[in-house]
Amino acid sequence: MKIAKTLIVAILAGFTAVTGSANELKVSELSKGAKLTTVKEGIMRSAPYKLAKFPDFMKELPCVIIPRGKGNVPGAAFSFTIDQPATIYLLVHVRGKFAPEGWEKTEYKAVWLVNNSPYKDEIFKKDFPAGKVEIPEHAGKAGTVFGVGNMAVIQVK
């Protein structure tokens, strides 16, 4: 089941909700630093980097992002809670041949920009029941620089 394209993101009394006319998804208990937003061109992929290209079906879906952090440590792990079963699409920076354990690689790709230079993401997916969603750290690296934190796109089943 798809969430309506007109999503409203609200922060209410300690929980974050994403709502749409056809369905309602509540996302709560985000890890410190994680942010809920919707997928669209120009959003922060992993602050301060901007998302440039992504699969069409992801447009306007809710997503959770995490700031870049220091490049000499793995991209941060994070978690959040969903109130409905969903497929989580994980955008993973192509760096250091990193593949998250237990996630299925898809044919989809995404691109984000650093000072107008493109960087690529491979996209993995995993189904989750309602409850806590754990997003792994990005431990892949090239030289001494690790990949940016993963981005989680939520598609309600």
**Of the given ranges (6-10, 37-41, 124-128), which has the lowest mean pLDDT?**
6-10
- Of 103, 125, 6, 8, the C-alpha closest to 55 is 125
CA distance 1 to 32: 29
* Residue 19 confidence (pLDDT): 44
What share of residues in the chain are helix, strand, coil (percent, to 5)?
Answer: 0, 55, 45
- All structural domains of the chain with their residue ranges: 8-156
Q: What is the pLDDT of residue 23?
A: 64
The structure tokens listed for 6 are 């007109």
pLDDT at 56: 97
**Rounded to whole angstroms, how far apart are CA atoms 110 and 15?**
29
Average pLDDT over residues 73-87: 96
pLDDT score recorded for residue 131? 98
For residue 16, is pLDDT > 80?
no
Burial (CB < 10 A; 0-12, 13-18, 19+), residue 127, is exposed
Compute the average pLDDT of residues 23-40. Answer: 94
